[in-house]
Amino acid sequence: MNTARSLLNDEWYERYKRISKLNIRSSIYDLTNRCNLRCKGCFFFSSNEHLVREERDLDAWRAFVDSEKARGVNVAIIVGGEPTLFLDRLQVFYERIPTFCATNGLIKVPRDRFPDMMVGISLWGDSEDEKILRGRDTFSISLNNYEGDEYTYYLYTITPKQIGRTERIVRRIRDAGLKVHFQLLSNDEDVDDFYWTPEKLKAIRAEMDEMLDRYPDTVVSSKYYHEVLTTGRMLGREWGWMECPSVTESFDNRNPKPKRLIHFIHWGADLKTQHRCCTSATRDCRKCYDGAAHMSWVMVNKRAHMVSSEAFQNWVEVYEMFAKLYRYIPW
Ligand code: SF4
Ligand code: SF4
């Protein structure tokens, strides 16, 4: 039987050892139903995940986070709506558990209250695309808010219209002393001209690879991740509902059950409702380009990658990418 030691040379084995002991149990939390934007294609609003009641009592949030910790969760991924609209709730998490905050970056997380909280800023392209999809150019504002912040990266959701235009954005992020990670737009609200085709996916894969080669200190990614995300294939298997690892435990009626995130739940802001998965409750899984879900797909399938040195190195790189994004290891 192949082992990590037999598949990896000394250098790769050291890299493997750095990440092999991480025991990550994440879940996702909607902090609020409100947002200061209404992006076309936002999965949260388009799948009506905002229609649950919103818990306002901070003691209820405190008890909830404690119960999540008791359930074994050791990293809380805070989404929304827009979490920065409710900093007191965010602080409840931050004081209790390693916390990652996804934000549109329009409001700066005050670093005196959250000195080392990881922040991921959503970015949907250059100002032209952002004005179409989000109603305004958020990039300049978020760059200004977070310039030089060592606990922040951009989650750049690349749209089909960004092909040939990503480098300018990557450079601006580099010049601001920040990092960037890529995923692709899923176009949940069918905006014209924002659909992926096989040709466009091929082109953006090559472009993401090129950005990683040219800006390795800024782009946090891996070529294997680009391949899996753009082809929807991993080790000959096809992406979709039957493979997705990021399904809420109570919704997981699949048979056979795939490898999945252990005890993963996406909670609504009422602290009672559970949503189907890490993104949209209504999205057609075949058209899902969620980056975290694809990354997790690779990560939970460790054994399947232990078939060759190359396949297992690919697995190590994707795991490292995740570990960097959550600062388990340095950038
Ligand atoms: S900023 Fe995020 S939560 Fe708000 S509308 Fe846009 S995608 Fe949705
Ligand atoms: S929409 Fe995406 S993340 Fe959700 S279950 Fe389907 S494939 Fe998984």
pLDDT tens digits, one per residue of 217-251: 999 999 999 999 999 999 999 999 999 999 999 99
Cβ of 98 below 6 Å from ligand 1: no
Domains of the chain: 24-289 (3.20.20.70)
What integer pLDDT is reported at residue 128 of this predicted model? Answer: 87
What integer pLDDT is reported at residue 300 of this predicted model? Answer: 97
Nearest CA to 191 among 138, 136, 129?
129
What integer pLDDT is reported at residue 292 of this predicted model? Answer: 97
Distance 43 CA to ligand 1 centre (A): 8
Residues 6+ apart with CB under 8 A from 27: 68, 73, 76, 77, 263, 264, 265, 266, 267
Q: Which ligand is nearest to the CA of 120?
A: 1
Distance 207 CA to ligand 2 centre (A): 25
Cβ of 122 below 6 Å from ligand 1: yes
Give per-residue burial for 275-290: e unless 16+ CB within 10 Å, then b.
Answer: bbbbbbbebebeebbb
pLDDT < 70 stretches in the chain: none
What integer pLDDT is reported at residue 49 of this predicted model? Answer: 87
Closest C-alpha residue for ligand 1 atom 3: 81
What integer pLDDT is reported at residue 55 of this predicted model? Answer: 97
What integer pLDDT is reported at residue 236 of this predicted model? Answer: 97
Residues 6+ apart with CB under 8 A from 284: none
Rounded Cα gap, residues 39 and 210, in angstroms: 28
What integer pLDDT is reported at residue 101 of this predicted model? Answer: 98
Q: Which ligand is nearest to the CA of 84?
A: 1
Q: Which atom of ligand 1 is nearest to the CA of 138?
A: 1
Q: Which ligand is nearest to the CA of 105?
A: 1
What integer pLDDT is reported at residue 193 of this predicted model? Answer: 86
Nearest CA to 107 among 206, 31, 29?
31
pLDDT, tens digit, 9 for 90 and up, residues 22-52: 999 999 999 999 999 999 888 888 888 888 9
Give the number of other CB atoms < 10 A from CB of residue 10: 8
